[in-house]
Structure formats: C-alpha cells, structure tokens
Amino acid sequence: MGCTDACVFPYPQGDTSLRRFTLEARRLGLNALVCIDAEERGHIHDVLVRRGVVIEGESMQEVVAQVKKAQRTADLILVKAGDAAFNRAVLTYRGVHILRGLHRAPKRVFDQVSAKNAADKGVAIDIDLSPLIHLRGAGRQKSLQCYRDVLQLHRKYRFPLTISSGAQTLLDLRSVREITHLCAVFGMEPHEVEDALETVDRLLEPSGPVEVI
C-alpha cells in the first residue's frame, strides 16, 4: 500500500506540470497522485500517477451521463457534493469512487443515511485539506467542523476516507508528516490518516468499488 494524495490539479487546471508535481510528491514521501484530467498515467519519477475526473452535476441524470463517459478514460471518478438528496443518490450509484467537496456544501448534507450508503457501496468521502491550508477565520472553522462531523460518522459506519491536498500549485502539496498534523487539528488519529492515505489502492482492487464522487 502507498500514500496517495487523492486529488491534485496539474497544468492546465493548475500552474504546475504533471512531472514537476511527481518530483515534489516523491520528495514529500508520497507514492502516488490522483491527477485530474492527467494526460499521462503510470509511474513518473517513481510516483504512480492515476488519472482522475471530477464530475459536477445538478441532477443524478447529469452525473450518470458524465460517469459513463468518464469511465472510458479515468482510473478514478470523483463527484462534487451537493444537497442531501443528491449525495444520497450519488453514494448508491456504481461507478463513483469518491464524494468530494463536502466542506463547500450546506450543513448537514452528509448525514447518517449518506454515511450508511457510502459504507454499503464502498464509496470514499474525501478530506480536502485545501481549506485548512488557505482559509482563515469562519471559513476555516466551517471546514474543520465539517471534517469533525465526517470523522464521527466514519468511526460509526466505517465508510472509506481519502485525503487530498487539492493542489493547483507545487506549494500546495503537503508531506505525509504535514498531512498528519493538519488532520490532527480536527481530531483524526495518525493511524486513521495512514489508513486514509492508502484508501485509493483499495478502491481500485478488483473486488472493490470503482467509483469516485
């Protein structure tokens, strides 16, 4: 099992090339990156690059159409979170690996029903560290509370978690040690961080789910 940053945005979505990202990831102790819309995949500078696609839709009909298209080219499919009904539906749809962006969604859009759906289908919930890195004040506190709530439900229902930097620039990447310290701010234990950093590998096992939201 390797330590994977579950979502980074290389050029042209960000300002850093894919190959430069992999060099820095190796220096920081990461074994793999999920690179959104990456033009290359496989091992680059001893770091495994997986191609991810982020899907955003206002309805399940839109999501289903985009997932079917993305499955032809992506290793992992991530879906942006929406309201409670949308999230519940996404978390029961085969083909999604990760639900992403809960910190930007309204409060209580990920509840016990969603948590059970995620656990039953093996869909991961992403802990995006970018708001903890970049935000201050109320915005940062909102994200911290969101992740505390997710962590509490994770401990009860045991759905998978992933951790991502959401990096669009080289300076946004974080080492495994820094990731552990950031996650400790909202109460995540080191062994839980280690487990979450290995989740992407498990999502892609033949017996596991194949969807990212």
Q: Specify the CATH number for the domain of residue 82.
A: 3.20.20.140
Q: Does some domain include residue 161?
A: yes
- Give the range of the structural domain holding residue 164, as residue numbers without chain letter: 4-203
> What does the pLDDT read at residue 209?
47
Q: Which residues make Cβ contacts (< 8 Å) with residue 62, sequence separation at least 6?
A: none
Name the band, by pLDDT with cuts 50, 70 and 90, for residue 208: very low
Q: Which two tokens stand for residue 19?
A: 């190959």
Name the band, by pLDDT with cuts 50, 70 and 90, for residue 161: very high
* Region for residue 66 given its phi and psi (left: phi exceeds 0; alpha: psi -120 to 50; beta: otherwise): alpha
Counted domains in the chain: 1
Q: Does some domain include residue 211?
A: no
Q: Does some domain include residue 122?
A: yes
Mean pLDDT, the chain, whole residue set: 93
